[in-house]
Structure formats: C-alpha cells, structure tokens
Amino acid sequence: MHRFEEIKCIGRGSYGSAHLVRSRRPDCPHGRFVVKKIPMELLSPKEKDQSFCEVELLAKLKHPNVIEYMENFVVDNVLHIVMAYCDGGDLADKVKKQQKIREQIVGPENDLADPRGYFPISQVLDWFVQMAMAIRYLHGQRVLHRDLKTSNVFLTTENVVKLGDFGIAKTLDSTLDQAKTVVGTPYYMSPEVCESKPYSYASDVWSLGCVLYEMLSLRHAFDAPNILTLILKIVQQDFAPVPPHYDAEVSDLLSKLLDKDPEKRPSMEEILTMPYIRRHMQGLVASGGSLKVKGTSGKVPENGARPSINEDDDDDDSRFHAEAEELMNPNFQSEYSEECIDSLQIYYGPKDGSNLSPNIRANAN
C-alpha cells in the first residue's frame, strides 16, 4: 500500500473493508480510488475462492456503467482490490436524502398523494436505464449479480451510474443454468430465492424492480419487522401502489418486473426495448443527458494495469451511445453474439483455485 495514502474507511462487509485512498504517484496527485481489503487468514477455503473469483470477474468486465477495476495485489496476506472511486456516493444515500427533503416539505403525515419531494420521473428513468444497460451487459456475459440494491448502485457527480460490489456474483456456464445458493439482501430477494428454488437472470430483474420502486416511492417495495414476515410478504403479497402522480406506464413496468412468476418477467433486452423506455432513451440521447457517460477521475496506479479511466472516457461515451441506439432500433434482435457469450467463463470451482488465472493463484499462495 506504499503507492497509496489512505483517506478514510468507507465501509465494512462480511469479507473485509473498503477504503478511500489517494495515489502517491507524482503524475497522479489527485487520483482517488477505492481499495477493498480482504484478510485471507479469516476466510474459509470457499470464501477465499469467492474473493479470488470477484477479482477475476472484475478484471473481465468492461462497461460504462460497471465499476472500473484497476488492479489487485496481496500485502501481509491481505488481498487488495483497487477500483475506481465514484465521487457521487450511492443510490441508497440519494434516496435517504430525498426522504428527508420530502419530510421537510410535506411534514410527518407523509400524504402519499402529495407529489412534492419525490424524484422527478426523468431522473428515475435516467438512473434506471443505466442500471438496466449494466445488467444487460452482465447477463450477456452469463453473470448474475445476485445482490442488486440501492447501496450497490454508485454514482459520479455527473449522475452516471456505476454498478458495483460483485462479491456474490455468479457466472453461469450455460444460459439454461440456474443457481441454487440463497444469497442477496432480504429487501431485494426474489420470491424464488426466498423459497430456496433454483433461480436465474429473472432474479436480478426482480431486484431491479425493487430498486425502481424505491426510487419512485422512497421506501422498500416489501418491508417487515422481521425476516420471516418479510419473506412471506415477498412470496405472497403485492407491492403497494407507487405515488399516484407518476404515470401509469411506470406502474405497468413495475408490475412486469415484480411478477411473482420468474418466467413472466421480461429479459433486460425486452425491458430496454419497451416503447416507454425507448422514448426516454431517445430523449436523453437527443438532450445530451446522463447517457453521455464520463468516467471518474484518476489514473492507473501501476504500469501494466488497465487503461486510465480518463483515457477511456470517449470510448465509454461512444460505446454507450452505440448500445443505446442499437436498443432503440425497431429492428433490434434480442440475441447475444457468440463472442459475447464466450468472453467470460469463470465460475465458482474447485477450492484449490485451479479455475483461477496463474497470477491470482500465485497471490493466494
């Protein structure tokens, strides 16, 4: 860590902690990054494998709306994962701040019919489209995020979404494969996960619906005082209507995403090619809104790591617009290319790490 100066700890999780750091390199005096520290001695063999798989996964993912991976190294038996820093915080903080703003405006009664203090629908759909683009990319790589929630949706100061925290993501070897492990955050868990049934990409679609609901209503789609009651609500009950000032089309979108039957939920392509979403994307592209993707500030910590985010800004911008225009094309075909399907083949494999790349295995020893 001699290359970085620690600024502060910004979070702790089940496997480690996240720290905001500043580069000590003379040519990068203001570059800030996030370093995720994972103590190896505290982990079981399975947990070690999951940590290394997260590194493998991050290193292979490249999308304007996915957190940028820089490098990894091991110091004193602690795995360090260096990632781009999103200077706009996360969506959970945005929702909490908006809740306070609304309380100040409408008072403690919190009349749901009062439209004041909610996010504008244009802002909600702006964030939603970017999240959907990121998840579409992940699913194209056969990756389930499995823990999509507002606190894992990071933002730049320009309101560009960066999806992060792939600690429990899973790569499926076939588009027909289904995961079976119960993981995720309770508020955002799909009914099939709650019932310990096999699940696939539709589970991420459900979680995206929960995030959309939270952006619209400033509260969870399903809430309860304990986990058992929460699971019963998710499995058996419908979500409460969103504030009535929002248009009927977004309510219809929510009902599709939060369908109890995973077979009836739309795929990410189907979501992004819905007329309602297409119209919003066209408006964003025409106005030069947040679909104009810019990276966060900073340069690569060491030679040989990934290119600087700043150097990739134009590529990210053009790629995002190309992707948006493809989805807005009425002749768009909902199919992944073979190159896209075959580009990522990592998985949670043997505990000896034989599925990992040589450099990661070397760091593990």
As a whole number of angstroms, the distance between CA 267 and CA 136 comes to 8
pLDDT given at position 187: 92
Torsions phi, psi for 6 (to 5 deg): -75, 135
Measured from the Cβ of residue 35, the count of other Cβ atoms closer than 10 Å reads 23
Summarised one tens digit per residue, pLDDT across range 285-336 is 766 555 544 333 333 333 333 333 334 445 555 555 566 666 655 554 433 3
Q: Which residue has the higher pLDDT, 266 or 174?
A: 266
Q: What is the DSSP letter of 199?
A: B
pTM of the shown model? 0.75
Residue 340, pLDDT > 50, answer: no
**Per-domain residue ranges of the chain:** 91-287
Summarised one tens digit per residue, pLDDT across range 134-147 is 999 999 988 888 88
As a whole number of angstroms, the distance between CA 134 and CA 161 comes to 9
The one catalytic residue among 147, 165, 204, 312: 147
Q: Are strands 17-23 and 4-12 parallel, antiparallel or unpaired?
A: antiparallel
pLDDT given at position 146: 81
Q: Which of these, 193, 177, 160, lies nearest to 294 by C-alpha position? A: 160
Q: Which residues are within 8 A (CB) of 112 and not within 5 positions of it... i.e. 6 or more apart?
A: 243, 244
Q: Which letter, b or e, does each residue of 147-164 get, where b requires 16 or more Cβ atoms within 10 Å of its Cβ?
A: bbbbbbbbbbeeebbbbb
Q: Which residue has the higher pLDDT, 352 or 271?
A: 271
Q: Are strands 78-84 and 32-39 parallel, antiparallel or unpaired?
A: antiparallel
Active site residue 49: no
Structure tokens at 160: 């560009």
Residue 351 assigned as binding residue: no
Residue 95, pLDDT > 70, answer: yes
Range in 4-18, 228-242, 315-329 with the lowest mean pLDDT: 315-329
As a whole number of angstroms, the distance between CA 184 and CA 197 comes to 14
pLDDT given at position 326: 62
Q: Which helix (H) or strand (E) holds 36?
A: strand 32-39
DSSP string, 214-275: HHHHSS-SS--SSHHHHHHHHHH-PPPPPPTTS-HHHHHHHHHHT-SSGGGSPPHHHHHTSH
Burial class (CB in 10 A: 0-12, 13-18, 19+), 127: buried
User: How many CA atoms lie less than 13 Å away from 63 in the CB half-sphere?
Assistant: 25
Percent of the chain scoring above 90 in pLDDT: 39
pLDDT given at position 8: 92
Residue 155, pLDDT > 80, answer: yes
Phi-psi region of 180 (alpha: psi -120 to 50; beta: other; left: phi over 0): alpha
Q: Are strands 32-39 and 170-171 parallel, antiparallel or unpaired?
A: unpaired
As a whole number of angstroms, the distance between CA 141 and CA 289 comes to 27
pLDDT given at position 56: 79
Summarised one tens digit per residue, pLDDT across range 259-289 is 999 999 999 999 999 999 999 888 777 665 5
The 17-23 sheet, strands edge to edge: 4-12, 17-23, 32-39, 78-84, 69-75
Q: Which residue has the higher pLDDT, 202 or 4?
A: 202
| CATH assignment, 91-287 | 1.10.510.10
Q: Which residues are within 8 A (CB) of 354 and not within 5 positions of it... i.e. 6 or more apart?
A: 361
Structure tokens at 194: 């709650």
Instruction: Report the length, in residues, of the chain.
Output: 365
Summarised one tens digit per residue, pLDDT across range 180-223 is 344 445 899 999 989 888 888 999 999 999 999 999 999 999 99
